[in-house]
């Protein structure tokens, strides 16, 4: 089992959700987060005053899946979230020891499929 975690620009969220659905994801979790990478934040002007925004708004999407679906989901996220500019984000693929559906007690692959 794998957990695919992607952090990317909020403007790409709808496209990523659509791409994951088409790739076969049956569920996902979305969290609004803030952070920075190489760009180290940015400078903005508000009412004539310049100020530095160190933590930029991002979106984190997590999808639990079988081992063979992880690369397919990562490819779908890359295709949907890529704008070709700095700050497009990152994808992390983690190994998960076990997943349990609370309602039914189903475990692992049965817990994340329809």
**Nearest Cα to 72, choosing from 4, 7, 12?**
4
The gap from C-alpha 38 to its chain's centroid, in whole angstroms, comes to 18
Q: Where are the domains of the chain?
A: 2-112
Contact 20, 37 (CB under 8 A): no
What pLDDT score was predicted for residue 53? 75
Q: Which pTM value belongs to this model?
A: 0.86
The pLDDT assigned to 44 comes to 66
Indicate if the pLDDT at residue 3 is higher than 90.
Answer: yes
Phi and psi angles of residue 104, each rounded to the nearest 5 degrees, phi first: -110, -15
Kindly state the DSSP code that residue 11 receives in the 8-state scheme. Answer: G
Distance CA 59, CA 35 (A): 10
pLDDT one-digit tens code per residue, 59-72? 999 999 999 999 99
Q: Which pLDDT belongs to residue 42?
A: 66
pLDDT of 14-45, one tens digit each? 999 999 999 999 999 999 999 888 777 666 67
Q: Which two tokens stand for residue 111?
A: 């817990």
Looking at CATH, the fold of the domain delimited by 2-112 is given as Alpha-Beta Plaits (3.30.70)
């Amino acid at each position: 089992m794998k957990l695919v975690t992607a952090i990317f620009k909020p403007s790409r969220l709808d496209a990523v959700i659509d791409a994951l659905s088409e790739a076969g994801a049956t569920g996902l979790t979305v969290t609004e987060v803030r952070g920075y990478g190489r760009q180290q934040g940015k400078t903005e002007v508000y009412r004539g005053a310049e100020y530095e925004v160190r933590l930029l708004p991002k979106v984190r999407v997590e999808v639990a899946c079988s081992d063979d679906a992880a690369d397919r989901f990562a490819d779908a996220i890359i295709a949907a979230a890529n704008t070709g500019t700095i700050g497009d984000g990152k994808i992390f693929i983690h190994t998960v020891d076990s997943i349990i559906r609370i309602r039914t007690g189903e475990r692992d692959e049965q817990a994340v499929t329809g």
